[in-house]
Amino acid sequence: MIRVLIADDEPLARERIRTLLEPESDIDVIGECSNGLQAVSAIDELKPDLVFLDVQMPEMSGFEVLETIATNDLPVVIFVTAFDQFALKAFEVHALDYLLKPFDRDRFQKALNRAKVQVAHERGGDLSQRLIALIKDIKPSQKYTERLVIKSSGRVFFLRVDEIDWIESSGNYLRLHVGTEDHLLRDTMNNVETKLDPEKFYRIHRSTIVNVERIKELQPWFRGDYMVILRDGTQLTLSRTYRDKLQGVL
């Protein structure tokens, strides 16, 4: 049985997909979502085999949803889109199927049959790499991440990046400092750095990223290093490697 999740902000679109899936004896529709945030939570909790994913949704786009999901948890995806020709070419290059609204039963069945093959034979590595390559091709038209997904004690919640004061490495995790609270995010410093707006967040050390708006002053320290003092009094080290670039930003 193939477990299917439908994520689309249009009720009629979700109903259309659900109706077309009803005759399929090997399909089990396990949930529906009307925006990107719901889709992230549902994928994380329900672990679907196949997702019909609308590209343009409130809160988070379909691409932002995929960027948020861990690579080894990526399901097979059929994109549902009204995107322009540039985006459609990107889908085709990476051999990922898509449904261009409005779509008919024959086109839907073709996409579904291809997805069934992917579920049966292409889970994991190859499929995930194609999804990642697609995101990279589309990404120039996307804005920087506005929310990060935090998983803690069986809960999933969304943190606006503007609320973050600074970030530090903590083993296999990143510790996000938000006011008087700390949150752990399983990710790498390099990966998170690429998601954040470089005009708002700056790396001051190999293990530290700071929200530039939270910086109060810089003080000379030892051997060319500086001390970065935040508005709440937190003191962080600015290494020589990143000093000139940060001074330019400030």
Level-2 CATH architecture, domain 159-249: Beta Barrel (2.40)
Banded pLDDT at 145 (limits 50, 70, 90): confident
Residues 6+ apart with CB under 8 A from 237: 204, 205, 208, 221, 225, 226, 227, 228
User: How sure is the predictor about 57, in pLDDT bands with cuts at 50, 70 and 90?
Assistant: confident
- Give pLDDT, residue 95: 42
**Per-residue pLDDT reduced to its tens digit, 201-248:** 999 888 999 999 999 988 887 776 788 999 999 999 888 777 766 666
Instruction: Pick one of 3.40.50.300, 3.40.50.2300, 3.30.950.10, 3.40.50.10540 as the CATH number of 2-141.
Output: 3.40.50.2300
In the chain, residues under CATH classification 3.40.50.2300 are 2-141
For residue 120, what pLDDT band results from cuts at 50, 70 and 90?
Answer: confident
Q: How far is CA 58 from CA 26, 94, 160, in A?
A: 31, 25, 15
Phi/psi at 143 (5° precision): -85, 170
Contact yes or no for 51/43 (Cβ under 8 A): yes
pLDDT band at 249 (very low <50, low <70, confident <90, very high): low
Q: Which pLDDT score is estimated for 142?
A: 53
Which amino acid is it at 5? Answer: L
Specify the pLDDT at position 124: 47
Average pLDDT over residues 110-117: 90
Query: Per residue in 19-37, pLDDT tens?
Result: 999 999 999 999 999 999 8
- pLDDT band of residue 137 (cuts 50, 70, 90) is low
Beta carbons of 243 and 210 less than 8 angstroms apart: no
Calpha distance 162→196 (Å, rounded): 10
pLDDT at 15 over 90: yes
The mean-pLDDT minimum among 43-57, 60-74, 81-95 falls in 81-95
Mean model confidence pLDDT for the chain: 83
Kindly give the pairing relationship between strand 166-170 and strand 173-178: antiparallel
Query: Start-end ranges of CATH 2.40.50.1020 in the chain?
Result: 159-249
Average pLDDT, integer, range 46-65: 87
Per-residue pLDDT reduced to its tens digit, 147-201: 888 877 777 788 899 999 999 998 888 999 999 999 998 888 888 888 898 889 9
**Nearest CA among 34, 29, 1 for reference residue 17:** 29
